[in-house]
Amino acid sequence: MLDGRCGVGRVSAQDGVATAVNRELVALFWQVGHRIRVDLLDEERAPYGQEIVATLSRQLAPDYGRGFGRRNLYRMVQFAEAFPDLENVSTLSARNHLTMHPPE
């Protein structure tokens, strides 16, 4: 007969999946922001950058959803500027998750 312990395992598995998805999304958003900043904007806030990001958004949003709208792409660029090293981002993301969801 099953008891309450199965629920604990399911919650733990769900938490692990949520952590993995969050880690991958953070890395994806950083990589998108970094690529825009380095490859398209030449690591500068070029005057033509607004149009580049708006155009890129119009190309990406229909296929990838509103998460790739102009405002979010700007946030991704700002994220990559604020945290130039992806390794540090991954460490901070994992540490933040452990603070919010400590192991039992």
pLDDT of residue 44: 75
User: How far, CA to CA in Å, does 31 sit from each of 34, 58, 80?
Assistant: 5, 19, 8
pTM above 0.75, yes or no: no
Q: What share of the chain in percent tops pLDDT 90?
A: 43
Torsion, CA 52, CA 53, CA 57, CA 59, rounded to 10:
20
Tokens representing 96?
Answer: 């933040």
Domain spans of the chain, in order of start: 19-24+35-99
Compute the residue count for the chain.
104
Dihedral sign for Cα atoms in the order 52, 55, 61, 67: positive
pLDDT of residue 19: 82
Rounded Cα gap, residues 49 and 19, in angstroms: 33
Q: Which residue has the higher pLDDT, 81 or 10?
A: 81
User: Residue 31 burial by CB count (10 A; 0-12/13-18/19+): exposed, middle or buried?
Assistant: middle
pLDDT of residue 58: 96
- Specify the range with the lowest mean pLDDT, choosing from 6-10, 26-30, 74-78: 6-10
